[in-house]
């Protein structure tokens, strides 16, 4: 093989070039040969010496060579011009596409170039034209989507910012500029706006692990001296193949929600404090009146009802005060707790209720002590055990287990009661939520034990 077989060979262009060369050169050679023959035939009849004959042949061949040179050069120039002329138009279109200029006409529309647009040149020009039209449509679509995205981002009340893997800003909305400052440099980093470690760490974790992150933090705005509360949500930005190239963060201003929540906490705490004193007085008077009615009767029954409902209200007030203290950020005082002693103390308090329902209580522990807040831990265990005793049918079994885990201690309170249906699992820690309101009211529950 003299030539390596290419992946694609432009046969039409090759044939066109060969035919043009043959049709141009062969006739010229024939005509030149005839002229030389006639010239020699005429000259040789009048020549008498060999020297004159040689000179005649020299002049004839010189003429033939000159004619051949002129003919071949002219044909080559003409053929080359016709061959590369479409290439010029194709280059113009290609450069226009690179510059995002799509004003060129469709291939084949100009009749003056009809002869130049044959074979593979025409196919190539048509392909480039289609590529240009496709890019034009995609540019228009991207431009429209970009304008829509900018309009949406500008209408969002939350600040939005996106960064690349190096922390450089990719895009942001107008609310981000309003809250956190003007962009006075073309290339800015997230650290130019924030020094808060919670914000920077949330973005770093998302860029490192490719997983969404959330953070609650306080930030000082550029035009305010006070700090405001923000809930930050950071999500990864990925390409179609899953490659991570950045992260986008949304700053939700929750200052008003925090303020309203604090108002609610303060209101509940104040109301609870105000209720506790009169409830204690009502209970005291009810107990005093019961002593005046030693015999069973209607009056003593009414007083017992007053005392029982007063106890329920006192328990509710105490639970509300405990929740208010936790929500207000009361410091937790930790110390070493003997878990068996804690269990025995609570079991003693619940013994009358347990004996009434004839439950069997068992206790197991894999760790002897725990470092925690004794009051809070006692409250948790008391609520769990009280719930189990209340709702397990008479004669049931209740087991309390302190299990040792990797870096933690787990508390298990197991029983053979009816349990909680699966559809209620997501709401068992809501305040005042009751799985069975009728049964809970009968047992005296407030719906705050697990909250």
Position 267 scores a pLDDT of: 72
- The CA angle 318-322-325, to the nearest 5 degrees, is 140
Task: Tell me which fold the domain 333-419 belongs to.
Answer: Heat Shock Protein 90 (3.30.565)
The pLDDT of 62-78, averaged and rounded, is 72
25 close to 75: Cβ distance less than 8 angstroms: yes
Q: Output the average pLDDT for the chain.
A: 76
Residue 235 pLDDT level (bands cut at 50, 70, 90) = very high
- The CA angle 403-408-414, to the nearest 5 degrees, is 30
- Domain range annotation of the chain: 6-102, 156-255, 333-419
Residue 423 pLDDT level (bands cut at 50, 70, 90) = confident
Model confidence over 313-343: pLDDT tens digits? 777 777 777 777 666 666 677 888 888 898 8
d(CA 261, CA 273): 18
- List the structure tokens of 235: 């999500």
264 close to 257: Cβ distance less than 8 angstroms: no
Task: Identify the CA nearest to 237 among candidates 175, 181, 171, 176.
Answer: 171
Residue 436 pLDDT level (bands cut at 50, 70, 90) = low
Beta bridge partners of 365: 402
Alpha helix ranges (H) inside 158-211: 174-180, 197-209
Model confidence over 49-69: pLDDT tens digits? 656 666 666 676 677 677 777
Position 124 scores a pLDDT of: 76
For residue 374, how far is the Cα from the chain centroid?
A: 42
d(CA 370, CA 378): 12
**Which are the contacts of 33, defined by CB distance < 8 A and separation ≥ 6?**
64
Model confidence over 245-269: pLDDT tens digits? 899 999 988 888 878 777 777 776 7
Low-confidence winner among 92-106, 153-167, 362-376 (lowest mean pLDDT): 92-106
Assess whether pLDDT exceeds 60 at residue 448: no
d(CA 384, CA 390): 10
Assess whether pLDDT exceeds 50 at residue 111: no
d(CA 103, CA 93): 9
The pLDDT of 29-39, averaged and rounded, is 68
Task: Identify the CA nearest to 247 among candidates 167, 159, 162.
Answer: 162
371 close to 338: Cβ distance less than 8 angstroms: no
SS3 of residue 216 by DSSP: strand
Q: Are strands 360-365 and 369-372 parallel, antiparallel or unpaired?
A: unpaired
Position 1 scores a pLDDT of: 46
Q: Domain 156-255 belongs to what architecture?
A: 2-Layer Sandwich (3.30)
Record the pTM. Answer: 0.49
392 close to 357: Cβ distance less than 8 angstroms: yes
Beta bridge partners of 413: 400
Of 2 and 285, the structure prediction assigns the larger pLDDT to 285
């Amino acid at each position: 093989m003299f030539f390596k077989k290419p992946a694609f060979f432009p046969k039409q262009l090759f044939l066109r070039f060969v035919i043009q060369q043959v049709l141009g050169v062969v006739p010229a050679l024939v005509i030149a040969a005839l002229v030389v023959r006639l010239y020699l035939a005429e000259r040789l009849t009048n020549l008498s010496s060999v020297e004159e004959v040689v000179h005649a042949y020299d002049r004839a061949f010189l003429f033939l060579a000159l004619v051949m040179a002129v003919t071949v050069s002219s044909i080559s120039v003409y053929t080359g011009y016709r061959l590369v002329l479409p290439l010029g138009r194709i280059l113009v279109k290609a450069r226009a596409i690179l510059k995002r200029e799509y004003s060129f006409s469709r291939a084949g529309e100009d009749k003056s170039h009809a002869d130049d647009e044959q074979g593979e040149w025409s196919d190539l020009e048509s392909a480039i034209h289609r590529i240009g039209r496709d890019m034009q449509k995609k540019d228009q679509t991207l431009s429209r989507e970009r304008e829509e995205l900018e309009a949406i981002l500008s209408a969002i009340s939350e600040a939005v910012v996106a960064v690349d893997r190096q922390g450089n800003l990719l895009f942001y909305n107008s609310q981000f500029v309003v809250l956190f400052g003007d962009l006075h440099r073309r290339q800015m980093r997230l650290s130019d706006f924030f020094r808060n470690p919670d914000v920077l760490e949330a973005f770093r974790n998302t860029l490192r692990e490719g997983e969404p992150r959330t953070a609650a933090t306080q930030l000082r705005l550029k035009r305010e001296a006070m700090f405001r509360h923000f809930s930050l949500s950071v999500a990864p930005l990925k390409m179609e193949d899953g490659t991570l190239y950045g992260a986008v963060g949304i700053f939700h201003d929750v200052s008003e929600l925090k303020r309203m929540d604090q108002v609610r906490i303060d209101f509940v705490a104040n109301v609870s404090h105000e209720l506790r004193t009169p409830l204690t007085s009502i209970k005291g008077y009810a107990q005093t009146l019961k002593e005046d009615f030693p015999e069973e009767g209607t009056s003593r029954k009414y007083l017992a009802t007053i005392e029982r409902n007063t106890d329920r209200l006192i328990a509710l007030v105490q639970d509300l005060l405990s929740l208010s203290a936790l929500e207000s950020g009361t410091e937790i005082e930790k110390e070493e707790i003997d878990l068996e002693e804690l269990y025995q103390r609570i079991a003693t308090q619940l013994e009358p209720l347990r004996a009434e329902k004839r439950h069997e209580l068992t206790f197991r522990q894999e760790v002897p002590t725990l470092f925690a807040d004794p009051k809070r831990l006692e409250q948790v265990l008391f609520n769990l055990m009280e719930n189990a005793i209340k709702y397990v049918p008479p004669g049931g079994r209740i087991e309390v287990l302190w299990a040792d885990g990797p870096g933690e201690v787990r508390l298990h309170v197991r029983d053979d009661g009816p349990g909680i249906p699966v559809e209620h699992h997501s709401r068992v820690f809501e305040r005042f939520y009751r799985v069975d309101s009728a049964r809970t009211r009968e047992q005296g529950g407030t719906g705050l034990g697990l909250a």
